[in-house]
Amino acid sequence: MALLYRLRSAFPSNSTYINYRLHYRSLSTILSPDSSNPLSAKQKSRAALSLLKTEENPERIIDICRAASLTPEFHLDRIAFSVAISKLSKFKHFDGIRRFLEELKSRPDLKNERFACHAIVLYGQANMLDHAIRTFKQIDELGVRHSVKTLNALLFACNLAKDYKELKRVYMEFPKIYGIEPDIDTYNRVIKAFSESGSSSSVSSIVAEMDRKDVKPNATTFANWLAGCYMEEKFEDVEKVLNLMEKYGVRRGVATYNARIRSLCKLKRSTEAKALFDGMLSRGMDPNSVTYCELIHGFCKEGNLDEAKSIFKRMINSGCQPDSECYFTLTYFLCRGGDYETAFKICLESMKKGWVPNFSTMKSLVDGLVSISKVEEAKQLIGQIKERFSKNVEKWSEIEAGLPQ
């Protein structure tokens, strides 16, 4: 009731307020039905996440989160938080983000280290780094002490905001100010930032500090470093980093190969990435779904659709499962390349898993099917979209009505 009282004064007309109050009640009904059949916490989270994906009103996005009483203790809730903050950022509703996160700090169940870290990261995701730093500095208000976990959350927030200058300052100053001893995650976040900002040559000094602090580098350390070398096209340094891995006894596992394959694909050197992939197989190493997806994305973006389709088929036969992004990328590029029949098959597989490409890709596929006289397939696709997904139903009905009879 206190919330609705505060909202009452914010609306210029009584009818607007009444409509909003009815909407707020409907949200409460969706997330918290009558006491005879209450939703579990997980069911509330699922309902909230479903609503968040389609909601376009910034204040209603916040109300959905409030109604679900989200907490970073649960994976589904963390996803919901992230979706909400992403959409609010897209709408530039930064004051709403601030109000919402500051409001959460008053909840007794969220006065803990986990929420403190999550709030810092969410501010970073929203590119509100000044608020992330303020939250870190005032962390005692949540009954939490400064720790390496909160420091790492702040470094991660800097990475998300791509403020590498501020990340370097935090790394150089805060451990001394707050008496925090960096751990492997601290160093890996800093190395990732150096690599992403074109300063891979500075990583050696971080590794030297790790030596002094008796912190052993791991596969993530070198994967981040390698990504920086590739981004700057310092191929001679790649071999040096690989040799250092041997020195530290870090095995060249799938994660290392994936980092190298991803980097080569970004440079449009997918053929070289494929050679690395073949090298993995010759060494008896099993690629994972990430390996295949990186190669598929790489070849698609270079226009080599035959190779992308071949790798996709190989992926399925190996037992690895494509993620939604892999399906969407392949469908998009197949349509762009005019292979509408294969795109149709891939799209149907994706939709069976509950994943539908965006409207423009689907419209391109429908138009493409019609252009090659596959009108029935186009109608089948539209029918499935309308049956399984509520978004854009009216648009699809109009498109369907305009198809050749």
Instruction: Check pLDDT > 60 for residue 60.
Output: yes
Contact 123, 150 (CB under 8 A): no
pLDDT of 267 above 90: yes
Closest by CA to 381, choosing from 339, 367, 305, is 367
Check whether 33 has a pLDDT greater than 70.
no
Residue 96 — very low, low, confident or very high, per pLDDT cuts 50/70/90?
very high
| Res 132: pLDDT | 97
Q: Is the pLDDT of residue 23 over 80?
A: no
pLDDT of residue 36: 58
* Better pLDDT: 337 or 27: 337
pLDDT at 11: 39
Assess whether pLDDT exceeds 60 at residue 35: no
CA dist., res. 322 & res. 253, Å (int):
20
- pLDDT above 70 (res 83): yes
Q: Sign of dihedral through CA atoms 379, 381, 383, 389? A: negative
What is the SS3 assignment for 143? coil
Three-state DSSP at 34 gives coil
Give the contacts of 253 (CB within 8 A, at least 6 positions apart). 219, 285
Phi/psi for 120 (5° steps) reads: -60, -45
Instruction: Specify whether the CB–CB gap between 160 and 125 falls below 8 A.
Output: yes
3-state secondary structure of 294: helix
* pLDDT score recorded for residue 247: 93
Instruction: State the pLDDT at residue 19.
Output: 46
Residue 403 pLDDT more than 90? no
For residue 304, the one-letter residue type is N
The predicted-structure confidence for 131-149, as pLDDT tens digits, reads as follows 999 999 999 888 899 999 9
For the chain, give the number of residues: 405
How far does CA 310 lie from the centroid of its chain?
Answer: 27
Residue 361's pLDDT band (cuts 50, 70, 90): very high
How confident is the prediction for the chain on average, in pLDDT? 89
Separation CA 126–CA 133 (nearest Å): 13
Confidence of residue 386 (pLDDT cuts 50, 70, 90): confident
Spatial separation of the C-alpha atoms in residues 169 and 155, rounded to whole Å:
10
Write down the H helix ranges in 248-358.
Answer: 254-266, 270-282, 289-301, 305-318, 324-336, 340-352
The secondary structure of 174-190 as a DSSP string is HHHHHT----HHHHHHH
Helix axes 75-90, 58-68, angle to 10 degrees: 170
Q: Summarize pLDDT for 282-295 with one digit per residue, the tens.
A: 999 999 999 999 99
In this structure, what token pair is assigned to residue 207? 């590794």
At residue 13, does pLDDT exceed 90?
Answer: no
Place 2 in a pLDDT band, splitting at 50, 70 and 90: very low
Neighbour-count burial of 381, counting CB atoms closer than 10 A to its CB (0-12 exposed, 13-18 middle, 19+ buried): buried
Residue 37 has pLDDT above 80, yes or no: no
Phi-psi region of 92 (alpha: psi -120 to 50; beta: other; left: phi over 0): left
80 — pLDDT class (breaks 50, 70, 90): very high
CB 295 within 8 A of CB 281: no
> Angle at which helices 184-196 and 219-231 pack, to 10 degrees?
10
* Cβ–Cβ under 8 Å, residues 353 and 328: no
Assess contact for 152 and 160: CB atoms under 8 A.
no
The amino acid at 73: E
CA distance 35 to 32: 8
**Structural contact between residues 227 and 188, judged by C-beta atoms closer than 8 angstroms:** no
Q: How is the chain split into domains, by residue range?
A: 1-33+40-104, 334-405
**Can you tell me which residue has the tokens 């470093």?**
225
- Give the CA distances from residue 127 to residues 97, 104, 120, 255, in Å, rounded to whole numbers and listed in that order: 11, 19, 11, 29
Does residue 122 surpass a pLDDT of 50? yes
Q: If we measure between CA atoms, which residue out of 189, 161, 163 comes closest to residue 175?
A: 189
The larger pLDDT score, comparing residue 43 to residue 17, is at 43
- Report how far apart, in Å, the C-alpha atoms of 341 and of each of 128, 239, 403 are: 45, 43, 18
195-212 average pLDDT score:
95
Amino acid in the structure at residue 356: V
Q: Give the pLDDT score at 280.
A: 94
Task: Supply angle C-alpha 175, 164, 130, rounded to 5.
Answer: 70
